[in-house]
Amino acid sequence: MWIVGVLVLLALISGVTNAVRKAGDRAAGAGGGDLRPGQCITNGDYAKFHFTATSCESSDAVYELAGESAMGICPDGKRVQDGPYFYVTRDQDDPKSESLCFALNLHQGDCYAMDLTEKSVTHIDCAQASTIANSHTGAFKVAKRADGSTDATVCGTGEKPWVFTSPQRVYCLTKLVQ
């Protein structure tokens, strides 16, 4: 019985490791997608590790490739885990593994849900915010988008600034559900 249990455990670990590696290979451009900095992808593509460019004008294209890193550092000089960027990495167990860092590509006046469990952002209908928000998902509206700036003071009172250094962009967010 112990041998069967060990074999099953080894198969599961091997399968998970292989899935992470394959996701990382696609993130680095191998096997589908040659995404370049400044190009955007949808939340669905991000979740599936499918990196094919979508028009940044699309409300669903919420992630913009900010840069690639071979040392686990995003364009702001912070580790991928510590900055404002969303990221995918070739090997989750190696902090210096190749990573793609994504800035948010949100549109002024639009509403979004941020799922803290899945660490994802989705474009939503503002009227649906109260039905979407819960203990692990917040809903917010982009009150202002300031391209070419990293100055958080462009945001008004009651607005939460979210600053990206590459591309230089500040979002001023208002919470929709208290």
Query: What are the φ/ψ torsions at residue 129 (nearest 5 degrees)?
Result: -55, -45
Q: Kindly report, residue by residue over 5-14, the tens digit of the pLDDT.
A: 222 222 322 2
Q: What is the mean pLDDT of each run of 10 residues along the chain (178 residues)?
A: 29 28 41 77 90 94 92 84 84 75 96 88 93 88 97 96 96 91
- Per DSSP bridges, beta strands 99-104 and 63-69 are antiparallel
User: CA–CA separation, 46 vs 139, rounded Å?
Assistant: 19
Ordered by start, the domain boundaries in the chain are 2-104, 111-175
pLDDT of residue 33: 55
User: CA–CA separation, 50 vs 107, rounded Å?
Assistant: 22
pLDDT of residue 95: 63
Beta bridge mates, 103? 64
The two structure tokens encoding residue 134: 């819960």
pLDDT of residue 82: 84
